[in-house]
Structure 1
Amino acid sequence: MRLDKFLKESRLVKRRVVAQEMIGIGAVRLNGRQCRSSAQVCVGDTVEIAYMTRVLKVTVLVDDEKELRKKQSIPYVLQEERRVNSDEKPW
């Protein structure tokens, strides 16, 4: 599954366009590296998302689109959450 679609379907980002913009500016990393929106996400991958005031690090548990759309499925497990100042860029 594409990275931008995973972010939207797993509810880490509200809209796919926003996910694409975040990936474009480098606020999302896949397995520690910057990537494109079309990067493929697989089970076991690590995704880091830098929001305005925090950075989330999650491990992917589900990469199937049909499973992600089910409300009871858990698409990721939170590894780390850390706060950052809004004026500094985490990357």
Structure 2
Amino acid sequence: MRIDKFLKVSRIIKRRTLAKEVADNGRILVNDRVAKSSTKVDVDDIITITFGNRVVTVKVLALLDSTKKEDAGNMFEIIEEKRL
């Protein structure tokens, strides 16, 4: 699954266009490598996202094409969240 779609479906980022923009600006790392919006993610990948003044690191637990709001949190696990 593409990183932009994963971020949208898991509700880490609300809109896919915003996820694409964040990725294309180099603010997303997948397994410590800069990711483009088309980068594929798999289960157990580590994603690091820079949101303004904070950095969130998550581990991919599941890849689902669509989810309900209640189930979106089961797609990832927050490993670390820190402020810059």
Tell me what 1:65 maps to.
Answer: 65
Q: State the one-letter code of the partner of 1:39.
A: T
How much is the aligned-residue C-alpha RMSD, in angstroms? 1.1
With normalisation by structure 2, the TM-score equals 0.90
State how 1:1-91 maps to structure 2 within 5 Å: 1-66=1-66, 69-70=67-68, 71-72=70-71, 74-84=74-84
After TM superposition, the runs of 4+ consecutive aligned structure 1 residues lying more than 3 A away are none
Offset at residue 81 of structure 1 (A): 0.5
Offset at residue 64 of structure 1 (A): 2.7
With normalisation by structure 1, the TM-score equals 0.84
Unaligned stretches of 5+ residues in structure 1: 85-91
Tell me what 1:89 maps to.
Answer: none
CA distance in 2, matches of 1:46, 1:80: 11
Counting matched residue pairs gives 82
| Percentage of identical aligned residues | 39
CA distance in 2, matches of 1:63, 1:42: 7
Q: Tell me which structure has the larger Cα radius of gyration.
A: 1
Unaligned stretches of 5+ residues in structure 2: none
CA distance in 2, matches of 1:37, 1:57: 17
CA distance in 1, matches of 2:75, 2:39: 17
Structure 2 SS opposite 1:22:
helix
Offset at residue 39 of structure 1 (A): 1.1
